[in-house]
Chains A and B, each alone.
Chain A
Amino acid sequence: MSDQLTAPRSRWFIEAADDELTIFERSREGRRAFTAPRLDVPERPLDELIPAELRRPEVARLPEVSEPEIVRHYTRLSKRNFDLDTGFYPLGSCTMKHNPKLHERIAGLPGNADLHPLQAVEDAQGALELMWRLQHSLGEIAGLPHVSLQPSAGSHGELTGVLITRAYHEANGDRRTKVLTPDTAHGTNPATVTMAGYELVKIGTDAHGNVDIDDLRRHVDTDVACLMLTNPSTLGLFERHIEEIAKVVHDVGATLYYDGANLNAIMGICRPGDMGFDIVHFNLHKSFTQPHGGGGPGAGPIAVAEHMEPFLPRPQVVRREDGSFDLDHDRPRSIGRMRGFQGNYGVFVRSYAYIRSLGAAGLREASEVAVLNANYLLARLRREGVLEYLPAAYDRICMHEFVLSGAVMKRELGIRTLDLAKRLLDHGVHPPTVYFPLIVDEALMVEPTETETRETLDHFAAVVAEILREAATDPEIARTAPHTAPVRRLDEAGAARHPVVRQPL
């Protein structure tokens, strides 16, 4: 294989001929970046303060490095990451939309960044008001009036929501044992079910990609506490029979839970509360622009219907009659706390700034363009002939994302979805989500988001087409991709067989 074949060379990464030393490997005895503040109190022998047997016999072996070394080390590492500011990131189910710079500025103001969580409420009125306004806005978007901002991410919101369901049934003297999820569900849903102490029951998907209502009816009884769904589903399709589903679930007294990972398709267009959902979580790091940070932080607020309100976590942000804002701990029927303090406030600042920037019309437009961009990209892929090898899992108008199957490509061209993904890296494009949802063979889940230009979508379609053409003549190029990333394909099986999860020191 010549160099020419493996072109184009990526522009995104520094040339890294050798591997990067770790910060520990850069350590040299005696180097330092820290200068301690002066000891301005009378020094006492340490033994008097903390007896020797309670102290460490040897110091923790942290790296010994100077400030310039730290800065260069982590800056070099940063250049070995692909990021959203650099290129297209159509990772399905993750809503990699633009992260406005304004939000970082506001979150960094001392009144936000340097505010202690136990500061007296009268000295945190701005923060509490922001949280209260965000609660109100999210409630309006969800169509459910009561919001808790406490959960730290989507899956934490799921757990909160299912525990609220449990508390609700228990308050009715009702002991239920099962929670239903469709077979298309994200892994956090079934994991949440078990973690909340329920037994999972899987529901099938029909030929159109909707929940199989007959299967649902077969499994629904008074032992069922809840059905967890996302709409649009993880197939990127709007659940047409949502009203009927809600009725089936509510008829047996179960609750309907909305996984908000896909909310970006419907903001201001329709609302989970109106569809019949009782509980919703939001992923502020998806629909509401919190930068994803390479794996967090996020936040997973939940909104609930009236009958669930008493069970929301403690404390709640409330507005008192005099117009001041407060933390209400006096919630006797609450499920309790899910975490420390009041939640990921810094995330709330960014998401509220986003909602203030867009307003009602802007949010709606964001969802409309998200859906427009996804359908346009699907149409462009079709026009490029891509869908002959990568047919849509379900041939329908999609919402904000769509799922293709690489099964034909694998059979006819001899490359797998994984190979296509890795070859995309050589073109400076982040691959879509792969191998999810599980019910689609060789799945490729594409979510362009509303913040991408048409030119970017056109480019993506052209690149995928080019990779397929290339595979038709030489599939080995894709099979051995990436060729231009900082490293070649990594041995994940080997890593799991002999886990090396820390640097030997």
Chain B
Amino acid sequence: MSRYTAVTDADLGEMLATIGVGSVDELFADVPAGLRVEGTLALDDGLSEQEVYGELAALAQRNLSTDEQITFLGAGMYDSYVPALVDSITARAEFLTPYTPYQPEVSQGGLQAMFEYQTAICELTGLPVANASVYEGPSAVAAAGYLAKLHNGRSRFLVSAGVHPHAVQSLATLAHGWGMTVEVVDLRDGVTSVEALRQAGLDEDVSAVIVGQPNFLGAVERLAPIVDVAHRSGALVVCAADPVSLGLLQAPGAQGVDVVVGEGQTLGNHLNFGGPSFGFFAVTEELIRRLPGRLVGQTRDAEGKRGYVLTLQTREQHIRREKATSNICTAQALNALAGVIYLSWLGRQGLVELAELLAQRTAYARERLVAIPGVTPVHQQPVVREFAIRIDGDMDAVLARCRAAGINPGYRYAEDCLLVAITEKRTRAQIDLLADTIAEALA
């Protein structure tokens, strides 16, 4: 008997007798003899709880956490502060352990929280409909591509080079199966240019134009002109946005973007070496019946009391099967819950204060770094929380020097370029240390 099962010898005898078989083996009579595993699997023996803890804690010790290094890594996931109340509430078994709410009468807590989450995402994105989460950021872009394909049946995606490379690659993986092409349109001075989109052939074959906000290089895009040209050719516009930056920036939906998706990690989720986090997904009213995944709607119970249910399920795989708008089933509900708790914690003013703090510190950091001889900005565009620099010098020496100083200076997205991310955890003193260290390395 393992510690997670409870069949005593006495139980076993009585249970087998009740079933009417002589042994557990007989229950597997349908398994052809030739297919049985002989002996046991080649896996190590089980361990006590204490031993498992010891072994896995030792593995975790061999990872350098953001507690142990001053990190300027970002590029899609950020070393943001996770408030204690988020961890405390999401650890509650009532949120942690239920399945997807198939029985709404006993799932009102999770359903209402999802309804609140959807509302918060609508506010951030400026769109009227948001689903209850998708897996994460990059695959959300691929899912948006599928929505566009179902919507207009066209054959090409025009993707700004400012979209996260993992998103471009995830879309390309799926688009291959749809017989569609993914064409990457170069940036001009760090942002997507309408001219470049036109030159790339923005015509009636284009299903969707996809941009980032801010984009991968941290630059704030001007969405309205992009929406304008894309809509003139009948293409949808998909925007992959950073949710905290949206505290400060024009809501993409308000500028005519049809689908706003993004990575939600920075909203109250730990880095977890890349997951789990959540992806958000919001659309216009017109696209509601093409939305992938779960959607919570408000309704009434038999006594007229307000309640919540999964709704418009005729979009979904369990009803519509091969005609579904997506195959997604299990998504990232707990992580989205962390997201709405976090957004409630920030609140109306707090979101603005946080985004402004990031913008101020990021501007300071950018100014300090580009003042170093040998460091140049990759672009001059406005930024919120992240910016790109070019190192005209020995990049390896920069990295080594930073490492020795306990700093991770950012993501080396190209041989001579770094993407530097600022979170509310990065203080002026830490930014100064980064600047001084890079300056020393390049001196």
Contacts and interface: CB of A to CB of B under 8 A. Distances in A.
Interface stretch (B230-238, B300-308, B390-398): B300-308
B426 to A, nearest CB: 10
Interface in A456-505: 480, 482, 485-492, 494-496, 499-503, 505
B286 interface: no
B207 interface: no
A306 interface: no
Interface residues of A, number: 212
Interface string B109-128: 11011111011101110001
Nearest to A123: B64
A73 B53 CA distance: 34
B439 interface: no
Interface stretch (A189-197, A215-223, A249-257, A405-413): A189-197
B85 A70 contact: yes
B120 to A, nearest CB: 6
B301 A490 contact: yes
B95 A293 contact: yes
Contacts of B18: 376, 379-380, 383
A126 B98 contact: no
Interface stretch (B70-78, B151-159, B196-204): B70-78
Interface in B7-54: 7, 11-12, 14-16, 18-21, 24, 26-32, 34-37, 40-47, 49, 52-53
Interface SS majority for chain A: loop
B32 A84 contact: no
B79 A116 contact: yes
Given A80-B108, A82-B103, A339 B57 contact: no
Given A85-B93, A188-B329, A366-B2, A60 B169 contact: no
Contacts of B305: 18-19, 487-488
Interface in A354-388: 355-366, 368-369, 371-373, 375-376, 378-380, 383
B169 A187 contact: no
A39 B331 contact: no
A200 interface: yes
Nearest to A20: B112
Contact of B272 (A84, A112, A337): A112
A78 B276 contact: no
Given A62-B123, A158-B327, A372 B27 contact: yes
| Most chain B C-beta atoms within 10 Å of own C-beta, residue among A24, A362, A363 | A362
Given A61-B348, A152-B139, A345-B272, A359 B45 contact: yes
Contacts of A61: 123, 348
Interface in B294-348: 294-303, 305-309, 311-314, 316-324, 326-335, 337, 340-341, 343-348
B27 A155 contact: no
A323 interface: no
A59 to B, nearest CB: 5
Contacts of B96: 83, 99, 104, 291, 293-294
B379 interface: no
Contacts of A81: 94-95, 98, 106-110
B132 interface: yes
A434 B103 CA distance: 10
Contacts of A430: 103, 106
Contact of B302 (A12, A18, A32, A480): A480
Interface string B409-425: 00100000000000010
B301 A488 contact: yes
Interface string A158-195: 11001100100000000000000000001110111111
A70 B345 contact: yes
Contacts of A379: 18-20
Contacts of B98: 81-84, 89, 292-294
A289 to B, nearest CB: 8
Contacts of A369: 5, 7
Interface in A395-420: 396-397, 399
Given A94-B99, A114-B67, A187-B317, A40 B275 contact: no
Given A187-B317, A295-B133, 9 more contacts: A13-B106, A50-B382, A59-B352, A163-B174, A191-B327, A295-B334, A339-B136, A346-B275, A502-B115
27 contacts: A36-B353, A41-B360, A56-B246, A60-B120, A63-B347, A75-B89, A80-B109, A81-B110, A94-B99, A111-B62, A112-B63, A114-B79, A118-B75, A153-B329, A158-B327, A243-B32, A295-B99, A340-B275, A352-B56, A357-B46, A357-B47, A360-B40, A361-B40, A396-B30, A425-B105, A482-B105, A489-B302
Top-9 shortest CB links A-B = A341-B274, A293-B334, A359-B46, A117-B274, A111-B60, A295-B333, A126-B62, A34-B350, A297-B276
